[in-house]
Structure 1
């Protein structure tokens, strides 16, 4: 099969088929769909190397991550991969223990047409390097604001605020916060939302602590607080893994969730709705984040000048079984 067969099958010209294969914006959507349908029926796949030579592009978008054990990242990557495929691009995903090596491998114009930086730890260095190499890129879930880089972030402040307001609405006045590592802006923003909600309600923080984004981290914090006889009526955890560890530790201490203590997590990891009690949590809009990120990057690759705006997405509070009205004693 070749391009002439596709043209005959679709009822369109060879020129139109060629434009579709090269992602030309001048093709009407109806014609684009006719060509794509014809290609699918004929099982026609153009030679990607030849297309790259004609277009002067690789047809590849790069993304590098160091943590794949997280439903949030997994969902963002899946959406990005699907959206890029719709645009005729492949996603080159670098998963490495050494993030610098993984990303630097992708930081070459002859390897990728653009880069999506997802929650980078070496963010400032990466931004400067990509600018120097003149490679189009966008930031997702970034830690810093950049005046000349488009980015998509979640309103973590709002997520922390809504989670805490939920607990206050259930009558809790002794609410503690257990967050993740302070290196992350998201951690600080979730805590800021927690503090703001308490302040508006005229309440003082019962206590705050931090640990890694791990089940063992939440478990150890809860065990320590229990030994010190320092337990609130509710915990807001800045991460689902922390929340699950905390629930397990409380169970071992004979403390029931939510009968004795309510617990809220953050992220909506894919398994938290399968444990008992099913975890009340804050879900991040990863589908929106991935879709908008691809849309912005495609515009940059096509030469559009974008304002360096930060797109901020609202998270969603999912109320399940780990929170209940405060038990009066």
Structure 2
């Protein structure tokens, strides 16, 4: 079995350089990293993770907590995070918060991961408070925490809600329904608050609010119930695209048509949203940019654990498609 000494000899560098290239690749030149990686592949060398952790106090493992892995938005997030952490020589473990949130907390408490990316955050949950107490590196993606306690990367959710309010008002849509996710998550609250604020500024009534729980199935069910009891509103605005897909299916199941009978607008701009069969108008937030920035923040946090937390907010944009008749948006008004 090849050793790090064999890799050093083949690459023409010291064992210390091999260690840095594999464990802290940012500390060596790209040329040196390539030579070491070539020697590793040629020799079939596999560093012992336990030995690495003992030497460096690092596991080279990152945890990622998502709220619904079946949601295409989180699939895009996870794919990008995996790519970014692989560049830094770390592997990724993913947990679905609905099933494995305690596992993520235990991993932090036992120091079996170097840090965690959280894209699920319920401000009222004891599990979230437990994470605060670990004192270990945590970065929030698509979520914010109270009092700026963690680094975070999110989109301008409040402005996204306001954009939709302005757009619907421009086209005479006033009987509105908002499909929220978990009401205790920052994303759902901020998007709803922005939507309400935008409508209020236009002297329009607040929307009816239904709880889709960030679920395709639940959003389908609450939409179908609403349509059966009240008929079609002017428009549904959903706190994410995944729920909007449920709404589109519910409208069709009720024998109605989008956009002829009702408009549907989502939030995220996942890759499926511009498929012709869906053609969803949505608020675009850069999931891949968000994941790249989140990975950078966590790697920096691991290296510099005492620096102040920084909240990064990315701009949003309304993507107009067929679910709102491709009606133009004059953002200047």
Shift of 1:261: 2.1
Q: Which residue of 2 aligns with 1:320?
A: 321
State whether residues 26 and 88 of structure 2, in contact with CA within 8 Å, keep that contact through their aligned partners in structure 1: no
- Contact kept in structure 1, 2:123 and 2:184, CA below 8 Å: no
* 1:11 Cα deviation from its structure 2 partner: 4.3
Q: Which residue of 1 aligns with 2:257?
A: 256
Q: 2:52 is matched with which residue?
A: 51
Residues 43/64 of structure 1: CA separation in 2 closer, same or farther (3 Å cut)? same
- Residue 305 of structure 1 aligns with which residue? 306
Displacement of 1:131 after TM fit? 4.8
CA deviation after TM superposition for structure 1 residue 325, in Å = 6.7
CA contact (8 A) 2:72 2:242 kept: no
Which one has a larger percent helix, Structure 1 or Structure 2? 2
Residue 203 (structure 1) shift: 3.1
In 1, the alpha carbon distance for the partners of 2:165 and 2:111 equals: 48
**Partners of 1:134 and 1:220 in 2: how far apart?**
40
Stretch deviating more after TM superposition (190-199 or 203-212): 203-212
- The answer to whether the 8 A contact 1:95-1:102 is kept is no
The equivalent residue for 1:232 is 233
Q: Distance in 2 between matches of 1:144 and 1:48?
A: 32
CA distance in 1, matches of 2:21, 2:182: 47
Are 1:186 and 2:187 counterparts?
yes
Could you tell which deviates more after superposition, 79-88 or 196-205? Answer: 196-205
Distance of 2:219 and 2:301 partners within structure 1: 41
TM-score, normalising length: structure 2: 0.82
Q: Do the aligned residues in 1 keep the contact of 2:124 with 2:184 (CA within 8 Å)?
A: no
Name the counterpart of 2:288.
Answer: 287
Listed as ranges, the gaps of 5+ residues in structure 2 are 328-333
Match of 1:75 in 2: 76
Distance 2:98 2:199 in 1: 39
Number of residue equivalences: 326
**8 Å Cα contact 1:64/1:103 also seen in 2:** yes
Bigger drift between 252-261 and 168-177 goes to 168-177
Relative to structure 2, which stretch is displaced further, 140-149 or 120-129?
A: 120-129
Residue aligned with 1:265, SS:
strand
1:266 is paired with a residue whose SS is: strand
Asked if structure 1 preserves the Cα contact closer than 8 Å seen for 2:178 and 2:238, the reply is: yes
Residue equivalent to 2:102: 101
1:322 offset after TM fit, Å? 0.8
**How far apart are the structure 1 equivalents of 2:102 and 2:247?**
35
Closer, same or farther: CA 170–303 of 1 in aligned 2, 3 Å: same
Match of 2:167 in 1: 166
**TM-score normalized with structure 1 length:** 0.83
Query: How far off its partner does 1:23 sit?
Result: 0.7
Name the structure 2 match of 1:218: 219
- Whether the 8 Å contact between 1:81 and 1:91 is mirrored in structure 2 is yes
Compared CA separation, residues 218 and 50, structure 1 to 2 (3 A): closer
